[in-house]
Amino acid sequence: MVDIKIKHAMGGYDLANMDKEEAHRAMQEQFFAGDPVEFKDCHAKGLIVDSEGYLYLQIRPPGGRDNGGLIDTTWGSHIAAGDTTLTSVMYESARELGIATTVFDDQHFFPMLENHPDITSELAVTRQAAYLRNFQSERLLPDGNTWKEPCELSFFVSYFDGKFRQQAKNGAGMTYRTLDALQEEVESNPERFTFDLKELVRQYAHAMVAYKDLSGFSPSPNVNANELVQQFSLDGRPLAPVPRKQAHAELIEAFHAGQPAPAKHRHVRVMMMRSDGSFYLQQRASNKKENPGLIDKPIAGHVGLGDVYDTAVIHECNDELAIPAAVLPEEDYAAIVANRPEVLRHQAVLTRVATLSDYVSKDRTLRDGQPWNEHCDTAVYIGCYDGPVRFKDGETSGVEVKDIDHLRAELRAHPEKYTHDLLDLVALLEQRGIVK
């Protein structure tokens, strides 16, 4: 039994959750009696498009409850009680296809793909293409009759080039088409496709193209953008971008000369937990220029040119430990951690805890033993993840997991083994009540 979200058909306000099968029986009774259907449920549907513009489509199982044997979107589901729309997208992507996904608004969607196009081999980069408040989902029953299920429909398009389960758990298999071929076939053989897919193609074909063909996409003109940082004056005015190594060299030179920092740039910092409450920690490689051999937060990095905090942190998770990640509002983050542990085996979920202007990263020890303090703006994230990690960029020599009590004891007993950043982040999480 699965309880789903139910709303008033006309008013749109929330009603009591219902068992999905019970809700469908009641809807069909009202529909076939010729009465107005008094309530509606909430649906999420998704379409995967690869970088060449191929659309991946699900073949629904013959003999199913409805639409048996028809071609449909890549995945689709009712939104269950306890889920939000975003958590439903992530859960269904993990459950049906075995993939990680992140959902962006356009402010973050385009920078992610413009600056990090390779991310689609690990992570389905997704945006909402449509929200239909009063959608009539026409469905073919096994006896040949059709009925219209009233719903709120949220439609998403994902860009993904990695491996996924070719037979969705709720489907009979997968097929794929270019958009042109799909439109031609929908016109010539409409009986092969679900009403939902036909209607979405009719209204939203412009959103089903390769991301490079989307209106609003502009590839980064600088192939080395990840190695450039946008500098800011200490009062926040944008300055010219410079290579990251040059920015650090100038900051270190000014610090050791006793002069004010000439500029600052932006960082991201992540404290990553497991669902049992323990924390991942990184041992920095002994050949690192700064803090060699010390135990540190698991993931951190600079915000590259063209990035924003949320796209930079997703890039860093993948680049440092091969962790696909999504940044979520606090409500959605909490819903995944509490209700959808399956998602955490496929990907990390993050939420931003704080954005700190003029943070001072203290006692960053150089290889020659000299410390320095870096002045920066930083976004701090808490994450949760139960999947595997893999070293990708050579910055890490090991990863360990400690529960918070053990970590606190170690920080008190042996502070010299840990970076000052880690001490600050643990204190911040305690101040915000995230760890007790």
**Distance in angstroms (rounded) separating the CA atoms of residues 64 and 66:** 5
**Pair 164, 54: CB distance under 8 Å:** no
Residue 330 belongs to domain spanning: 225-431
Domain boundary among 178, 213, 248: 213
- 289: pLDDT confidence band, cut at 50, 70 and 90? confident
Both 143 and 263 in a single domain?
Answer: no
| Rounded mean pLDDT, 8-36 | 95
Q: Give the per-residue pLDDT at 287.
A: 81
C-alpha–C-alpha distance, residues 168 and 75, integer Å: 8
List the CATH number of the domain containing 342.
3.90.79.10
Residue 394, pLDDT > 80, answer no
Q: Is 241 found in the same domain as 194?
A: no
| Gyration radius of the chain's alpha carbons | 25
Question: pLDDT, tens digit, for every residue of 371-385?
Answer: 999 999 999 999 999
Residue 87 φ then ψ, to 5°: -70, -30
HSE on the CB side for 186, CA within 13 Å?
A: 21
Mean pLDDT confidence for 348-362: 96
Rounded Cα distance between 404 and 350, Å, is 18
Residue 436 domain-assigned?
Answer: no
Are residues 126 and 238 both part of a single domain?
no
Q: Is residue 333 assigned to a domain?
A: yes
Domain count, the chain: 2
Q: What is the pLDDT of residue 367?
A: 84
Q: Decide if pLDDT at 408 tops 70.
A: yes
**What is the pLDDT confidence band of residue 436, given thresholds at 50, 70 and 90?**
confident
Query: 200 or 61: whose pLDDT is higher?
Result: 200
Contact 80, 87 (CB under 8 A): no
pLDDT digits (tens, 9 = 90+) for 209-230: 999 999 989 887 665 667 899 9
Question: Which tokens belong to 205?
Answer: 């074909």
How would residue 400 be classed by pLDDT, with cut points 50, 70 and 90?
A: confident
377 plus 251 within the same structural domain = yes
Do 209 and 236 belong to one domain? no
pLDDT at 169: 52
Residue 165, pLDDT above cutoff 80: no
Q: In the predicted model, is pLDDT for residue 393 greater than 80?
A: no
- Give the per-residue SS3 of 270-312: EEEECCCCCEEEEEECCCCCECCCCEECCEEEECECCCCHHHH
- What is the average pLDDT across 134-159? 96
- Supply the pLDDT for residue 194: 97
Q: Which two tokens stand for residue 155?
A: 């439609």
Residues 243 and 195 in one domain: no
Kindly report, residue by residue over 409-431, the tens digit of the pLDDT: 999 999 999 999 999 999 999 99
Contacts of 276 (CB under 8 A, 6+ apart): 403
Q: Is the pLDDT of residue 167 over 70?
A: no
